[in-house]
Amino acid sequence: MEEWYIEPELSMLPSSEGKIELQTIFSKQEYRQSKKNNLKKCILITPGAFHNAELMKDLQYRIFQSFKKRFPNHQIIVHTFSQLGHGKSELKGCLHLKSFNTHVNVLEEIIQIVGNEIILIGHSLGGLVIEKYLEKNRALAVALLAPFNHSIHFKKDVIKHLLRHQKRTILYYIFTWSPKRSFTPTAFKKLFYSAECDSQEYNNRVEGIFEKISDESLRCFMGAFLTRLDYRKISRTPIIIIGGEKDVAVQRQGLELLGKKLSSNVHMIPNATHNTLINDKTLGIEPKQGHVREVAENIAKFVHEIENVKEI
């Protein structure tokens, strides 16, 4: 296994929201020779709502390996940062952001620090954060892994799954945590299915619910449901969308609709679920066939093909 290195100087960064935990991996040998090498590939991984930098380490290392193979003459630097704080991600140094837009602003601050010439990878809600960033900015390339999206299929599927199979989840308790306890999962489903997601009626209803949510991170998560995107601006950046065939939250139909809006190819990985796209538990162990390796290979291949087209 090639030696990798976490840069201590970048472990904690200041931002408008406080300290940001930034985990950076690259070759120790190249770190010593970095002043001699002007060819670099800088990659930033943006976790979703329920993961942080620590839980993305498998993906981070696989990305490092795959890009090293495709770009042997480049110094490969892979950053991951912990951000939105709720659910499992509260376990290790994540931020509790005030709104979805704050989430996007923190991403902008990180990119200004690590460099604008960057390749972005976003998982789940992190994918939506990157899409919002791309309305006003560009990146060399973007990979969206099972991205939180605005298709009616995604919204119905994710709510149905969370309410049915994961009783102790954020969405299940959004309405039972409220002071008046006036909302239940049944009421939530009635709200969700009784209006078109893009209608003003739907938006007004959910806006009213915001006042009953005490935890700011829940506001951020629900705010993502209401976010509207300008897909024409986002599609200026080369984008690949990757999903899992067994992902019950972000399914093929929703990803294909998103792919059409962004003029992007959608690659579905057999047997992969929402979480196995980013975490195969093989870091530090003899490599085996895993979804994270396939995800990393697809992203590196995509970026390599883009660069070949530019050269032509």
Q: Which of 180-189, 242-251, 278-287 has the lowest mean pLDDT?
A: 180-189
- Domain termination residue (choose one: 200, 225, 250): 225
Boundary-marking domain end, from 169, 191, 225: 225
52 and 102, same domain (yes or no): yes
**Cα–Cα distances in Å, from 164 out to 112, 178, 271, 307?**
41, 20, 21, 45
Q: Flag whether pLDDT at 300 surpasses 80.
A: yes
Please report the pLDDT score of residue 45 as a whole number: 94
222 pLDDT more than 90:
no
* Pairwise CA distance, residues 107 & 185, whole Å: 32
Max avg pLDDT among 31-35, 44-48, 222-226, 280-284: 44-48
Q: How many domains does the chain have?
A: 2
**pTM of the predicted model as reported, rounded to 2 decimal places:** 0.76
56-80 in b/e form (b: 16+ CB < 10 A) is bbbbbbbbbbbbbebbeebbbbbbb
Looking at the structure, tell me whether residues 100 and 246 fall in a common domain: yes
E strands, 47-202, in order: 75-81, 119-123, 141-145
74-90, pLDDT tens digit by residue?
A: 989 999 887 644 434 44
Domain range for residue 112? 4-150+227-311
User: Among 25-39, 41-55, 265-279, which is the least confidently predicted range?
Assistant: 25-39
Q: Please state, in angstroms and rounded to a whole number, the distance separating the CA atoms of residues 127 and 255.
A: 12
**By percentage, how much of the chain surpasses pLDDT 70?**
56
Vertex 229: Cα angle to 299 and 107 (nearest 5): 60
What span, in angstroms and rounded, lies between the C-alpha atoms of 13 and 107? 12
257 and 113 belong to one structural domain: yes
- Structure-block tokens of residue 245: 């065939």
pLDDT of 63 > 70? The answer is: yes
CATH number of the domain that residue 16 is part of: 3.40.50.1820
